A and B are shown apart, each in its own frame.
Chain A
Amino acid sequence: MVAGAQAFRLEIPVHDHRLSNGLRVIVSPDHSAPLVTVAVYYGVGMRVEPPGRTGFAHLFEHLMFQGSGQMGKHEVAYLVEQNGGMLNGSTSLDFTNYFEVLPAPALELALWIEAERMRGPSITQAELDNQRDVVKSEIRLNVLNQPYGGFPWLPMSERAFRNWHNAHNGYGDMADLDAAALPDVERFFVDYYSPSNAVLVVVGDCEPARALELATRAFETIPPRPVPPPADLSEPPREAELRATYHDPRANRPALAISYHTPPRGSRAFDGLALLDHVLLQGDDSRLHQELVRRHAFSSSVDGGINFLGNAFNARTPLLWTSSLVHDPHVAADAILDAFDGVLEEVRVAPLDEATFARALVKARSAYYDTITGFFYPSLGRADLLASFALFDDDPRLINAVPARFDALTPELVHETAREVLAPRNRTVLELEPGLPKNGHRE
Chain B
Amino acid sequence: MTTPHPPASRLPGFALPRIERLKLDNGLRAVLVESGSVPKADVRLVLDIGDAQESLDETWLSRLVAEYLREGSATRDSDAYAQAVAALGGDLAVDSDDDTTTLRGRVLSEHAPAFVRLLAELVRTPRFPPGDLPRLRSDLERRLALAQVQPHMLALERFRAALYGDHPYGRVFPRPGLIGRFTTDAARAFYEAHGGAARATLYVAGRFDERAVGAAVAEAFDGWPAGADSTVRPPQPRHERAVHLVDRAQSEQSTIYMGLPVPAAGHEDWIPLWVANALLGGSFISRILLNLREDKGYSYSPFGFISTRRRDANWMQIADVTTEVTGASLVEIFREIDRLRAEAPPTAELEGIQRYVTGTYLTRFATPAGISEQLASLDLQGLDASYAEATVERANAVTPEEVRSVVERCLRPEEMAIVVVGDASRVAGQIEPFGRVSA
Measuring CB to CB, which residues of chain A are less than 8 angstroms from any residue of chain B?
1-5, 7-10, 30, 32-35, 70-75, 77-79, 81-87, 101-106, 108-109, 112-113, 116, 129-135, 137-138, 140-141, 144-147, 249-253, 282-285, 289-290, 294, 297, 299-300, 326, 328, 358-359, 362-363, 365-367, 369-370, 372-373, 377-378
Binary A-proximity of B140-183 (CB < 8 A = 1, otherwise 0): 00110110111100000000000000000000000000000000
| Residues of B78-127 contacting chain A, CB below 8 A | 78-79, 82-83, 85-92, 106-110, 113
Contact B40 A373 (CB under 8 A): yes
B230 within 8 A of A: no
Contact yes or no, B363 A3, CB < 8 A: no
Cα–Cα distance between A134 and B293 once the two chains are bound (Å): 7
Q: Does B377 contact A (CB under 8 A)?
A: no
Q: Which of B3-11, B191-199, B268-276 is found at the contact surface with chain A?
A: B3-11
Contacts known (A8-B39, A73-B294, A133-B297); A33 close to B366, Cβ less than 8 A? yes
Q: How far is the CA of A16 from the CA of B430 in the complex (A)?
A: 57
Question: Who on chain B is nearest to A106 by CB?
Answer: B9
Name which residue of chain A comes closest to B284, CB basis: A77
Given known pairs A71-B3, A145-B252, A285-B83, the reply for A137 and B209 (CB within 8 Å) is no
- Whole-angstrom distance between the Cβ of A215 and the nearest chain B Cβ: 13
Point out the residues of chain B lying under 8 angstroms from A3, CB to CB: 109-110, 209, 212
Chain A residues whose CB sits within 8 angstroms of the CB of B58 once the complex forms: none
A370 to B290, CA, bound (A): 35
Q: Can you show 8 pairs from A to B with CB atoms below 8 A apart? A: A3-B212, A32-B37, A82-B355, A84-B360, A105-B9, A250-B149, A300-B67, A378-B366
What 9 A-B pairs are tightest by C-beta distance, nearest first? Answer: A84-B359, A366-B89, A133-B297, A82-B352, A8-B39, A300-B139, A105-B9, A33-B366, A8-B109
B300 contacts the other chain (CB 8 A): yes
B37 touches A109 (CB 8 A): no
> Which of B70, B113, B255, B360 is the most central at the interface, judged by chain A CB atoms within 10 Å of its CB?
B360
Which residues of A sit under 8 angstroms from B285, Cβ to Cβ?
74, 77-78, 81-82
A104 to B10, CA, bound (A): 10
Q: Which of A4, A84, A146, A378 contacts B11 (CB 8 A)?
A: A84
In this complex, how many residues of chain B approach chain A with their Cβ under 8 Å: the count is: 88
Task: Kindly identify which residue among B4, B39, B135, B362 contacts A84, using a CB–CB cutoff of 8 Å.
Answer: B362
- Are the C-beta atoms of A328 and B356 separated by less than 8 Å? no
A78-B285, A373-B367 known; A30 and B37 CB under 8 Å?
A: yes
A30 to B367 alpha-carbon distance, docked (Å) = 12
A7 B209 Cβ-Cβ under 8 A = yes
B138 contacts A by Cβ under 8 Å: yes
Query: A141 contacts which of B139, B297, B298, B300 (Cβ < 8 Å)?
Result: B300
Q: How far is the CB of A91 from chain B (nearest CB, A)?
A: 14
Any chain A CB within 8 A of the CB of B435?
Answer: no
Contact of A108 among B6, B85, B107, B352 (CB under 8 A): B6
Contact call A284/B78, Cβ cutoff below 8 A: yes
Contacts A250-B149, A282-B91 known; A105 to B40 CB distance under 8 Å?
Answer: no
Query: Across the interface, do A35 and B366 meet the contact criterion of CB distance under 8 Å?
Result: yes
Partner of B36, one of A32, A85, A366: A32
Chain A residues with CB below 8 A from B367, complex form: 33, 373, 378
A137 with B300: in contact, given A75-B3, A82-B356 (CB under 8 Å)?
yes
* Contact of A284 (CB < 8 Å), options: B4, B6, B92, B149: B92
Cα-based distance from A133 to B366 in the complex (angstroms): 35
Which residues of B are at the interface with A, using a C-beta cutoff of 8 A? 1, 3-6, 8-12, 35-40, 67, 70, 78-79, 82-83, 85-92, 106-110, 113, 132, 134-135, 138-139, 142-143, 145-146, 148-151, 207, 209, 212, 250-253, 255, 283-285, 290, 293-295, 297-301, 320-322, 351-353, 355-356, 358-360, 362-363, 365-370
A108 to chain B, nearest CB (A): 5
Asked if residues A101 and B40 are in contact (CB atoms below 8 Å), the reply is no
Beyond A78-B352, A133-B297, A328-B138, whether A8 also contacts B108 by CB under 8 A is yes
CB-CB under 8 A for A109 and B9, given A81-B285, A141-B301: yes
Bound together, the chains give a CA A135 to CA B351 distance in angstroms of 31
Contact A144–B252 (Cβ < 8 Å) = yes
A101-B363, A103-B9 known; A290 vs B79 contact (CB < 8 Å): yes
| B297→A134 contact, CB < 8 A | yes
Contacts of A78 in B (CB 8 A): 1, 285, 352
Q: Which residues from chain B contact A289 at a C-beta distance below 8 Å?
A: 82
Task: Give complex CA distance A367, B356 in Å.
Answer: 32
* A420 smallest CB distance to B (angstroms): 26
- B residues less than 8 Å from A138 (CB atoms): 300-301
CB of B403, distance to nearest CB on chain A (Å): 16
Are the C-beta atoms of A102 and B86 separated by less than 8 Å?
Answer: no
Asked if A105 and B10 sit within 8 Å, CB to CB, the answer is yes
Which of B5, B38, B139, B143 gathers most chain A CB within 10 Å?
A: B38
B90 touches A134 (CB 8 A): no
Chain B residue nearest to A367 (CB atoms) is B89
> With A141-B300, A251-B149, A283-B86 in contact, do A84 and B355 touch (Cβ < 8 Å)?
yes
Min distance, Cβ A389 to any Cβ of chain B, angstroms = 17
Tell me how far the C-beta of A334 lies from the nearest C-beta in chain B, rounded to whole angstroms: 20
The answer to whether A112 and B6 have CB atoms under 8 Å apart is yes
- Contact for A362 among B89, B135, B251, B322, CB less than 8 A: B89
Docked CA distance A101–B367 (Å): 13
Cα distance, A112 to B362, chains bound together (Å): 22
CB distance from A31 to the nearest CB of B (A): 8
Distance in angstroms between the alpha carbons of A95 and B369 in the assembled complex: 27
Q: B366: nearest residue on chain A (CB-CB)?
A: A33
Instruction: Give Cα A2–Cα B88 distance, bound, in whole angstroms.
Output: 15
Residue numbers in A under 8 Å from B149 (CB-CB)? 147, 250-252
8 Å CB contact of B290 from A71, A74, A297, A366? A74
CA distance A370 to B369 in the complex (A): 11
Q: Is the CB of B145 within 8 A of A86?
A: no
Smallest Cβ distance from B319 to chain A, in angstroms? Answer: 9
B363 touches A378 (CB 8 A): yes
Assess whether A362 is in contact with B108, with CB atoms less than 8 Å apart: yes
Option from B109, B135, B146 in Cβ contact (under 8 Å) with A252: B146
Q: B352 near A34 (CB under 8 angstroms)?
A: no
Once the chains bind, are B35 and A109 in contact (CB under 8 Å)? no
Collect the chain A residues with CB atoms within 8 Å of residue B321's CB: 137
CA of A9 to CA of B6 in the docked complex: distance in angstroms? Answer: 38
Bound CA–CA A135/B204 (angstroms): 40
Q: How far is the CA of A285 from the CA of B70 in the complex (A)?
A: 11
In the bound assembly, the distance between CA atoms of A105 and B8 in angstroms comes to 9
